[in-house]
């Protein structure tokens, strides 16, 4: 709540800090235990999270007058009598403007969240998703009317959605109509209201879904505890698909714990079996009484006493995984009090009892340590396993920070273990709102090193090594085979699919567990990858991000995202690529021309050289006024000349050879923009462009020259020649970038090269300073430039403009991450890590999580099993049958072979053991041998020698195994075969080392009898 912002957060907790609290509260230290209250212990560091928010401790008792000061009340501990909490809730909901009330408790491995926003509450936006807009191509005149959208893009509307229209030609009644509800017909059509009396549809138009308010009604805490369902047909959120009905069991169990709490004024003691049995008996009595009056109950035959027993045995303990989960859930529910997102209706119950040590007595005796709550649940044996874990974690961003906190609290690697944390990124301003280990003073510092230092400060025994290297093929000399073999587990906390794929491949090859998580705004998921048990990450790839065709971005945008991408592309071209090209050119013209000429067309090369020539001439003048002139000319070029040329080539009434209007469907006829110095957006474009250009060219700027007035004065005096249309060929097909000027290109290229040769004299590489787009620096004008360019482009094409926040998000490629979803999913992740540490082997012991806090939706299911590779009667790729050897093997299985070995020896072994002959041998993406294509003598060489020959590089001395794949056929009938990967251990590294030692000894011996002929 503090990270995200607001006016004030007040904390009430007079409970004395205990040593056990140090294991679940990151902001309480061992030195504070027994000396100050929990609130006083944590307040200092909580204030540091957001210096702009008033964060304080309430020292007076809670009364109605105190409650009136706040708009939201959270109850997260049973530190008051239950009757007082019920009264508190009644008071909050009875106010003219109800005070939001959220109860969220963690009781051992069980927890819950309850939400009450009053008798009547309006949700303005149920999902928080961006609205979707589509281009209309036809509307029928009937009842109901059917709308068809352009075939380029399927609509994502759902049954019952509301939509509105704009820019419809002909059937203009739709433009003025209120939002209408739809019924989906198919992926490109939906029906609306009666359009039979409307005018005929002519062309064009945009349809967009509309957020409609939804009214909700909440029960009080007392009412909802007794009857949590709206009706008998409803059910509680059953998050765990593996145990249907668990939420109802947990609710009855919670009611029993509250009865015990009211009776004894305390929760059951930890691991007190007699008190736990009392709670079980209370639960059975409550269930029977409710059933007798036809109230909320669980079928007697389905009542699980063990669930309630576990709730009672550990209810006094708090563990960071559950605190993190429910902290994230409760905070997100709190943000919903403003009407965005759908609140819980009204209970969420969740447990993780499956992570308990199975079927054996464990030592749960407290040690008077920060880990006592963890010990009381899992025992000293599990703590020791966590302390001795050897881990690699990739990523120290939002997920990484939460995990580092959790590891420090759980005691991970604090005894004989170690954690390697690597992240090549540095801390940026925008990180501070969700990566809570970082502060303003840390901006620009390494994420991994800063996160490690903060976590170690919390738990000095936490053994972590911070690194800044990528985990990739290029760093296999750092992250060697020995390194991977020495790990117990790999944690993925990175938002890079390529890095995840690489880690996944390494985990499969070395048979290591991979625990991965990801977030996207309010959505989050976890994946547990277990050797020989589950699918790997790459077996179920994330969907690819939506991309836009380049011809759409360049000439035919119809969405604001198109114009933002165009603005970002302009930034890269003007301020990064061109100055980089100019620096490369002046360094070595011949090398640059040769390299660039090979990688592009003659048209593309001409444009590159023109841009370099323009920049060199600008640098020659070396004045800020020249940079302003450049900016004014770019305004004219982008928003007037280019558009005028496009309209000259394709006038608004242009029709193709079939008589179809050109400007229809996704193509919107643009309009030119005349420069107006009084228009703030025009002024911002010129100012931002000039200042960034000056930085790239290292042109000094006087303080007064940076002012908008000075820049506009210079810009207004720039002479702009009259537009003269050219004969030009414009790209209409997707993904084509070039606009080809019709004429003699060879002649123009020769002339350009000669001009460049003359103009470039005297320049050096250091004269240019290419700039990378930086979204978080408010003083560098980068976002200002893209924002102004994008919205001016939007005006050209009559697209609704956007605010700067939207520009920053799209242009900065920001993957939305929020602290609530991050905390919640890390709680799930930690529960899975504890299971892996215990080496659980059953797939149904594990949970894969899929959560959307906005809706809210919670789904937990067992991970998908490892994919078995089986024989096929017909394989579409091979165009025939394929035999799996061995039948039903998975990617986790390998054919183990001891090297060194030649290809001939490998083939002989496979013939003898699997009755197959090989036609191709591959190592990664490299083909080592192919029948009929490769030299036959390769088969007699050692495989590692062939690898070095094909890759044209020496193997690293750290390589101890080779991963080899083969294409093979059965000996009897020539059927194509799918074999397990071949794992060749000890290629020739040991042999080569022995040989090197032998040569060294021989050389020393010869040295003694050296003659003139010896070298």
Which amino acids are annotated catalytic?
551
Which element (helix H / strand E) includes 626? helix 624-636
Exposure b/e, 374-383, CB count within 10 A at least 16 = b: bbbbbbbebb
- 3-class DSSP state for residue 411? coil
> Can you tell me the distance from the alpha carbon of 652 to that of 836, in angstroms, rounded to the nearest whole number?
65
Query: Which secondary-structure segment (H or E) carries 527?
Result: strand 523-529
DSSP state string for 904-919? HHHHHHHHHHH-EEEE
DSSP state of 605: H
CA distance 466 to 204: 57
Tell me the backbone φ, ψ of residue 481, rounded to 5 degrees: -60, -40
Rounded to whole angstroms, the Cα distance separating 259 from 275 reads 12
Tokens for 881?
């049958």
Alpha helices (H) along 419-480? 447-458
Backbone dihedral angles phi then psi of residue 896, each to the nearest 5 degrees? -85, 125
- Within 10 angstroms of residue 11's Cβ, the number of other Cβ atoms is 18
- CB 328 within 8 Å of CB 827: yes
User: What is the per-residue DSSP string for 209-256?
Assistant: EE---EEE----HHHHHH--SSSTT------BTTSTTHHHHHHHHHHH
Q: How many CB atoms neighbour CB 322 within 10 A?
A: 26
Farthest CA pair distance, the chain = 111
Contacts 24+ apart (CB under 8 A), 902-911: 902/939, 902/940, 902/941, 902/942, 902/943, 903/928, 903/929, 903/938, 903/939, 903/940, 903/941, 903/943, 903/946, 904/939, 904/940, 906/943, 906/964, 906/966, 906/982, 907/939, 910/966, 910/968, 910/979, 911/971
Helix, strand, coil percentages in the chain from 3-state DSSP, rounded to 5: 40, 20, 40
Cα separations in angstroms, 141 against 40, 144, 145: 69, 8, 6
Q: Which helix (H) or strand (E) holds 132?
A: none
- Which residue, among 357, 378, 350, has the nearest Cα to 366 in the 3D structure? 378
Sign of CA dihedral 693, 696, 702, 707: positive
Backbone phi, psi, residue 337, to 5°: -65, -15
**Of 266, 349, 363, which Cα lies nearest the Cα of 307?**
349
**How far, in Å, CA of 556 to CA of 567, rounded?**
14
Cis peptide before 492 (omega within 30 of 0): no
CA dist list (Å): 879 to 493, 868, 873: 41, 21, 10
71-93 in b/e form (b: 16+ CB < 10 A) is bbbbbbebeeebeebeebbebbb
- Could you tell me if 228 and 133 are in contact, meaning their C-beta atoms sit under 8 angstroms apart? no
Answer for the pair 390, 418: CB distance below 8 angstroms, yes or no. Answer: yes
Q: How far apart are CA 102 and CA 106, in angstroms?
A: 13
Cα torsion 321, 327, 333, 338: sign? negative
């Amino acid at each position: 709540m503090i990270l995200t912002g607001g006016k004030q957060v007040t904390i009430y907790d007079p409970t004395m800090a205990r040593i056990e609290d140090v294991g679940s509260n990151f902001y309480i230290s061992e030195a504070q235990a027994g000396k100050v209250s929990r609130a006083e212990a944590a307040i200092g560091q909580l204030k540091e999270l957001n210096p702009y928010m008033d964060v304080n401790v309430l020292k007076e008792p809670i009364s109605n007058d105190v409650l009136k000061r706040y708009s939201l009340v959270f109850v997260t501990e049973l530190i008051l009598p239950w009757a007082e909490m019920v009264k508190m809730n009644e008071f909050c909901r009875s106010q003219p403007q109800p005070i939001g009330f959220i109860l969220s408790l963690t009781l051992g491995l069980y927890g819950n969240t309850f939400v009450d926003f009053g008798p009547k509450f309006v949700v303005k936006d149920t999902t928080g998703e961006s609205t979707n807009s589509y281009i209309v191509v036809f509307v029928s005149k009937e009842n109901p009317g059917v709308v068809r959208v352009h075939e380029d893009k399927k609509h994502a509307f759902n049954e019952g959605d509301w939509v509105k229209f704009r820019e419809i030609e002909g059937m203009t009644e739709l433009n003025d109509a209120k939002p209408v509800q739809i019924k989906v017909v198919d992926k490109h059509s939906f029906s609306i209201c009666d359009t039979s009396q409307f005018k005929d549809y002519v062309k064009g138009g945009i349809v967009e879904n509309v957020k409609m308010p939804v009214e909700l009604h909440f029960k009080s805490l007392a009412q909802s505890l007794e009857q949590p369902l709206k009706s008998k047909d409803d059910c509680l959120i059953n998050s765990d698909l593996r145990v249907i009905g668990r939420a109802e069991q947990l609710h009855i169990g919670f009611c029993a714990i509250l009865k015990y709490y009211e009776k004894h004024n305390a929760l059951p003691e930890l691991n007190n079996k007699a008190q736990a049995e009392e709670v079980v008996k209370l639960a059975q009595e409550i269930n029977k009484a409710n059933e007798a009056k036809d109230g909320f109950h669980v079928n007697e035959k389905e009542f699980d006493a063990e669930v309630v027993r576990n709730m009672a045995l550990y209810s006094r303990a708090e563990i960071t995984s559950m605190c993190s989960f429910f902290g994230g859930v409760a905070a997100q529910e709190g943000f919903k009090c403003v009407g965005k997102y759908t609140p819980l209706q009204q209970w969420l119950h969740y447990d993780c009892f499956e992570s308990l040590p199975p079927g054996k007595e464990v030592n749960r005796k407290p040690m008077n340590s920060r880990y006592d709550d963890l010990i009381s649940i899992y025992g000293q044996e599990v703590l020791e396993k966590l302390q001795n874990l050897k881990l690699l974690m990739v990523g120290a961003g939002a997920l990484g920070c939460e995990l580092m906190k959790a590891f420090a609290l759980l005691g991970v690697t604090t005894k004989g273990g170690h954690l390697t944390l690597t992240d090549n990124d540095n801390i940026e301003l925008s990180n501070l709102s969700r990566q809570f280990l970082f502060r303003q003073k840390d901006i620009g510092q390494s994420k991994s090193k800063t996160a490690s230092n903060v976590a170690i400060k919390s738990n000095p025994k936490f053994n972590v090594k911070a690194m800044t290297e990528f985990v990739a093929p290029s760093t296999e000399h750092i992250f060697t085979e020995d390194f991977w073999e020495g790990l117990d587990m790999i944690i993925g906390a990175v938002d890079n699919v390529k890095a995840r794929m690489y880690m996944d491949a390494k985990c499969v090859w070395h048979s290591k567990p991979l625990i991965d998580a990801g977030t996207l705004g309010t959505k989050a998921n976890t994946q547990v990858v277990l050797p020989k048990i589950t699918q790997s990450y790459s077996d179920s790839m994330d969907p690819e991000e939506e991309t836009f065709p380049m011809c759409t971005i360049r000439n035919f945008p119809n969405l604001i995202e198109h114009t933002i991408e165009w603005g970002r592309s302009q930034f890269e071209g003007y301020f990064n690529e061109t100055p980089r090209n100019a620096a490369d050119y002046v360094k070595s013209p011949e090398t640059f021309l040769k390299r660039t000429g090979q990688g592009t067309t003659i048209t593309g090369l001409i444009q590159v050289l023109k841009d370099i020539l323009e920049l060199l001439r600008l640098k020659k003048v070396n004045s800020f006024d020249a940079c302003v002139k450049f900016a004014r000319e770019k305004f004219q070029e982008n928003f007037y000349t280019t558009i005028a040329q496009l309209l000259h080539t394709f006038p608004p009434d242009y029709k193709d050879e079939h008589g179809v209007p050109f400007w229809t469907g996704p193509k919107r006829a643009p309009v030119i923009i005349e420069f107006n110095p009084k228009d703030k957006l025009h002024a911002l474009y010129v100012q931002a462009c000039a200042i960034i250009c000056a930085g790239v060219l290292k042109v000094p700027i006087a303080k007064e020259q940076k002012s908008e007035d000075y820049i506009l004065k210079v810009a207004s005096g720039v002479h702009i020649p009259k537009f003269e249309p050219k004969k030009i060929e414009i790209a209409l097909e997707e993904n084509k970038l070039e606009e080809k000027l019709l004429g003699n290109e060879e002649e123009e290229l020769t002339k350009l090269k000669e001009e460049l040769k003359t103009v470039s004299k005297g320049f050096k590489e250091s004269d240019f300073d290419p700039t990378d787009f930086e979204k978080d620096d408010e003083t560098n004008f980068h976002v200002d430039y893209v924002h102004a360019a994008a919205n001016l482009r939007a005006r050209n094409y009559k697209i609704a403009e956007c605010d700067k926040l939207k520009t920053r998000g799209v242009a900065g490629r920001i993957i939305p991450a929020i602290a609530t979803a991050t905390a919640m999913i890390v709680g799930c992740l930690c529960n899975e890590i504890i299971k892996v540490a215990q080496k659980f082997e059953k797939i149904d012991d594990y949970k894969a999580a899929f959560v959307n806090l906005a809706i809210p939706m919670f789904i937990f299911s067992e991970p998908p099993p490892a994919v078995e590779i089986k024989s096929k009667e017909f394989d579409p790729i091979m165009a025939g049958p394929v035999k799996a050897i061995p039948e039903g093997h998975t990617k986790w299985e390998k054919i183990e072979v001891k090297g060194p070995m030649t290809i001939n020896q490998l083939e002989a072994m496979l013939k003898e053991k699997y009755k197959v002959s090989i036609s191709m041998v591959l190592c990664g993406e490299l083909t080592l041998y192919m029948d009929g294509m490769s030299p036959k003598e390769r088969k007699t060489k050692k495989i590692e020698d062939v690898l070095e020959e094909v890759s044209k590089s020496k193997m690293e001395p750290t390589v101890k195994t080779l991963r080899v794949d083969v294409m093979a056929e059965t000996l009897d009938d020539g059927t194509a075969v799918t074999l397990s990967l071949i794992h060749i251990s000890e290629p020739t590294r040991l042999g080569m080392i022995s040989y090197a030692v032998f040569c060294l000894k021989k050389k020393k011996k010869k040295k003694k009898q050296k003659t003139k002929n010896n070298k």
